[in-house]
Amino acid sequence: MPTTLPRLIKTRACLPASHSRRGEPREMGALTQLVAVVVLVAGPAWTSNLHRCYEEQELSKVAHRKLASHYPQPPEPRGAVAHDSPFACPLDLYMPWDLKERSLSPWRYVSKPMKDHYPSTYVEAQCLCSGCIMIKNQGTPELSHDYNSVPLTQTRVFLKRERCTDEQKYYLKPVSVVVTVGCTCARPHLV
Protein backbone atom coordinates (compact mmCIF):
# COMPACT_ATOMS: atom_id res chain seq x y z
CA MET A 1 0.00 0.00 0.00
CA PRO A 2 2.70 2.58 0.80
CA THR A 3 4.28 2.16 -2.66
CA THR A 4 1.05 2.56 -4.67
CA LEU A 5 -0.16 5.80 -3.00
CA PRO A 6 2.86 7.90 -4.00
CA ARG A 7 2.71 6.47 -7.52
CA LEU A 8 -1.03 7.35 -7.78
CA ILE A 9 -0.40 10.92 -6.58
CA LYS A 10 2.52 11.22 -9.01
CA THR A 11 0.39 9.89 -11.88
CA ARG A 12 -2.47 12.36 -11.20
CA ALA A 13 -0.10 15.29 -10.82
CA CYS A 14 1.40 14.62 -14.25
CA LEU A 15 -1.90 14.53 -16.17
CA PRO A 16 -2.64 17.48 -18.44
CA ALA A 17 -5.81 19.49 -17.74
CA SER A 18 -7.47 17.98 -20.80
CA HIS A 19 -7.42 14.48 -19.25
CA SER A 20 -9.70 13.00 -16.58
CA ARG A 21 -8.48 11.40 -13.35
CA ARG A 22 -8.49 8.04 -15.06
CA GLY A 23 -6.04 9.32 -17.66
CA GLU A 24 -8.60 9.33 -20.47
CA PRO A 25 -8.77 12.38 -22.72
CA ARG A 26 -11.65 14.72 -21.82
CA GLU A 27 -14.09 15.66 -24.50
CA MET A 28 -16.52 18.50 -24.25
CA GLY A 29 -19.73 16.54 -24.21
CA ALA A 30 -22.73 17.41 -26.28
CA LEU A 31 -24.67 18.17 -23.11
CA THR A 32 -22.06 20.69 -21.95
CA GLN A 33 -22.09 22.38 -25.36
CA LEU A 34 -25.89 22.51 -25.31
CA VAL A 35 -25.89 24.11 -21.86
CA ALA A 36 -23.36 26.73 -23.00
CA VAL A 37 -25.46 27.61 -26.05
CA VAL A 38 -28.66 27.85 -24.00
CA VAL A 39 -26.99 30.18 -21.49
CA LEU A 40 -25.66 32.41 -24.26
CA VAL A 41 -28.99 32.57 -26.07
CA ALA A 42 -31.36 32.65 -23.09
CA GLY A 43 -29.24 34.95 -20.91
CA PRO A 44 -30.52 38.14 -22.54
CA ALA A 45 -34.09 36.85 -22.29
CA TRP A 46 -33.71 36.41 -18.52
CA THR A 47 -32.33 39.92 -18.09
CA SER A 48 -34.88 41.46 -20.47
CA ASN A 49 -37.46 41.09 -17.70
CA LEU A 50 -35.88 44.25 -16.25
CA HIS A 51 -37.26 46.16 -19.25
CA ARG A 52 -40.41 44.18 -19.84
CA CYS A 53 -42.97 46.29 -21.66
CA TYR A 54 -46.47 46.80 -20.25
CA GLU A 55 -49.71 48.31 -21.46
CA GLU A 56 -50.46 51.69 -19.88
CA GLN A 57 -53.46 50.35 -17.93
CA GLU A 58 -51.37 47.66 -16.19
CA LEU A 59 -48.43 49.93 -15.25
CA SER A 60 -49.82 51.10 -11.92
CA LYS A 61 -50.50 47.56 -10.67
CA VAL A 62 -47.07 46.32 -11.79
CA ALA A 63 -45.33 49.37 -10.27
CA HIS A 64 -46.99 48.89 -6.88
CA ARG A 65 -46.08 45.18 -6.91
CA LYS A 66 -42.42 45.93 -7.80
CA LEU A 67 -42.17 48.71 -5.22
CA ALA A 68 -43.55 46.43 -2.51
CA SER A 69 -41.30 43.48 -3.36
CA HIS A 70 -38.03 45.16 -4.40
CA TYR A 71 -38.11 48.78 -3.15
CA PRO A 72 -40.17 49.08 0.06
CA GLN A 73 -41.26 52.66 0.65
CA PRO A 74 -41.29 54.31 4.10
CA PRO A 75 -44.66 55.38 5.49
CA GLU A 76 -45.63 58.90 4.49
CA PRO A 77 -45.90 61.44 7.35
CA ARG A 78 -49.30 63.03 7.94
CA GLY A 79 -50.16 66.67 7.54
CA ALA A 80 -48.32 67.42 4.30
CA VAL A 81 -49.11 70.70 2.54
CA ALA A 82 -48.64 71.79 -1.06
CA HIS A 83 -44.97 72.36 -1.89
CA ASP A 84 -45.60 75.95 -3.02
CA SER A 85 -47.60 77.09 0.05
CA PRO A 86 -46.05 79.95 2.07
CA PHE A 87 -44.14 79.32 5.29
CA ALA A 88 -42.21 81.15 8.01
CA CYS A 89 -39.92 80.29 10.89
CA PRO A 90 -42.35 79.49 13.78
CA LEU A 91 -40.75 81.39 16.69
CA ASP A 92 -44.14 82.22 18.21
CA LEU A 93 -45.30 78.57 17.99
CA TYR A 94 -42.12 77.05 19.35
CA MET A 95 -43.49 75.14 22.35
CA PRO A 96 -45.70 72.39 20.76
CA TRP A 97 -44.91 68.77 21.54
CA ASP A 98 -44.52 67.48 17.99
CA LEU A 99 -40.80 66.90 17.23
CA LYS A 100 -40.87 68.56 13.82
CA GLU A 101 -42.20 71.76 15.44
CA ARG A 102 -40.15 71.81 18.66
CA SER A 103 -36.86 71.03 16.95
CA LEU A 104 -34.17 73.72 17.03
CA SER A 105 -34.43 73.44 13.26
CA PRO A 106 -38.18 72.98 12.64
CA TRP A 107 -39.58 71.64 9.39
CA ARG A 108 -42.86 70.92 7.70
CA TYR A 109 -43.89 68.19 5.31
CA VAL A 110 -44.78 69.10 1.76
CA SER A 111 -46.33 66.94 -0.91
CA LYS A 112 -44.22 66.80 -4.09
CA PRO A 113 -45.54 65.55 -7.44
CA MET A 114 -43.32 63.51 -9.79
CA LYS A 115 -44.75 63.09 -13.27
CA ASP A 116 -44.23 59.66 -14.90
CA HIS A 117 -42.99 58.10 -11.65
CA TYR A 118 -44.37 55.57 -9.18
CA PRO A 119 -45.28 56.66 -6.63
CA SER A 120 -46.42 59.82 -8.45
CA THR A 121 -46.30 61.95 -5.29
CA TYR A 122 -44.16 61.78 -2.20
CA VAL A 123 -43.78 63.73 1.03
CA GLU A 124 -40.61 65.68 1.72
CA ALA A 125 -39.47 67.76 4.70
CA GLN A 126 -38.87 71.48 4.16
CA CYS A 127 -36.74 73.44 6.64
CA LEU A 128 -38.67 76.43 8.01
CA CYS A 129 -35.77 78.53 9.31
CA SER A 130 -32.42 79.55 7.83
CA GLY A 131 -30.81 79.62 11.27
CA CYS A 132 -31.63 77.68 14.43
CA ILE A 133 -33.99 78.50 17.27
CA MET A 134 -32.14 79.10 20.52
CA ILE A 135 -33.73 79.61 23.94
CA LYS A 136 -32.37 82.68 25.69
CA ASN A 137 -32.15 83.31 29.46
CA GLN A 138 -35.78 84.40 29.85
CA GLY A 139 -36.95 81.23 28.10
CA THR A 140 -37.90 83.11 24.94
CA PRO A 141 -37.03 81.54 21.61
CA GLU A 142 -34.83 83.51 19.25
CA LEU A 143 -33.59 82.78 15.73
CA SER A 144 -29.78 82.51 15.74
CA HIS A 145 -27.65 82.55 12.63
CA ASP A 146 -24.64 81.27 14.58
CA TYR A 147 -25.94 77.89 13.35
CA ASN A 148 -27.57 76.83 10.11
CA SER A 149 -30.69 74.78 9.60
CA VAL A 150 -29.66 71.98 7.23
CA PRO A 151 -31.72 69.23 5.58
CA LEU A 152 -31.27 65.55 6.42
CA THR A 153 -31.64 63.45 3.29
CA GLN A 154 -32.33 59.87 2.32
CA THR A 155 -32.09 58.21 -1.07
CA ARG A 156 -35.30 56.51 -2.20
CA VAL A 157 -36.00 54.42 -5.28
CA PHE A 158 -38.87 55.35 -7.58
CA LEU A 159 -39.97 53.64 -10.77
CA LYS A 160 -39.92 55.90 -13.81
CA ARG A 161 -42.23 55.17 -16.72
CA GLU A 162 -40.24 55.00 -20.00
CA ARG A 163 -41.48 54.23 -23.51
CA CYS A 164 -40.51 50.92 -25.05
CA THR A 165 -39.00 50.80 -28.54
CA ASP A 166 -42.41 50.02 -30.06
CA GLU A 167 -43.64 53.47 -28.82
CA GLN A 168 -46.90 51.81 -27.67
CA LYS A 169 -45.98 50.26 -24.32
CA TYR A 170 -43.91 51.28 -21.31
CA TYR A 171 -41.28 49.78 -19.05
CA LEU A 172 -40.42 50.73 -15.47
CA LYS A 173 -36.91 52.00 -14.78
CA PRO A 174 -35.67 52.24 -11.16
CA VAL A 175 -34.29 55.72 -10.38
CA SER A 176 -32.76 57.05 -7.17
CA VAL A 177 -34.09 60.31 -5.76
CA VAL A 178 -32.64 62.21 -2.80
CA VAL A 179 -35.50 63.12 -0.45
CA THR A 180 -35.28 65.47 2.55
CA VAL A 181 -36.65 63.68 5.62
CA GLY A 182 -36.00 66.28 8.35
CA CYS A 183 -33.77 69.19 9.39
CA THR A 184 -31.08 69.68 11.99
CA CYS A 185 -28.80 72.43 13.28
CA ALA A 186 -25.18 72.57 12.23
CA ARG A 187 -22.32 75.00 12.54
CA PRO A 188 -21.95 77.11 9.39
CA HIS A 189 -19.40 76.11 6.78
CA LEU A 190 -16.33 78.26 7.23
CA VAL A 191 -14.43 78.72 4.00
Q: What Rg do the C-alpha atoms of the chain give, in angstroms?
A: 31
Q: Pairing state of beta strands 107-113 and 81-82?
A: parallel
Q: What is the pLDDT of residues 94-114, one digit of tens each?
A: 555 555 556 788 899 999 999
Provide the 3-class DSSP secondary structure of residue 63.
helix
Do the Cβ atoms of 56 and 85 come closer than 8 Å?
no
The mean per-residue pLDDT over the stretch 56-60 comes to 85
Q: Higher-confidence residue: 115 or 79? A: 115
Cβ contacts of 21 within 8 Å, gap of 6 or more: 12, 15
Q: Which residues contact 150 (CB under 8 A, 6 or more apart)?
A: 105, 127, 183, 184, 185, 186
Please, are residues 25 and 140 in contact by the beta-carbon 8 Å criterion? Answer: no
d(CA 161, CA 60): 10
pLDDT tens digits, one per residue of 146-190: 999 999 999 999 999 999 988 889 999 999 999 999 999 998 877
**Average of pLDDT values for 111-122?**
92
The gap from C-alpha 190 to its chain's centroid, in whole angstroms, comes to: 32
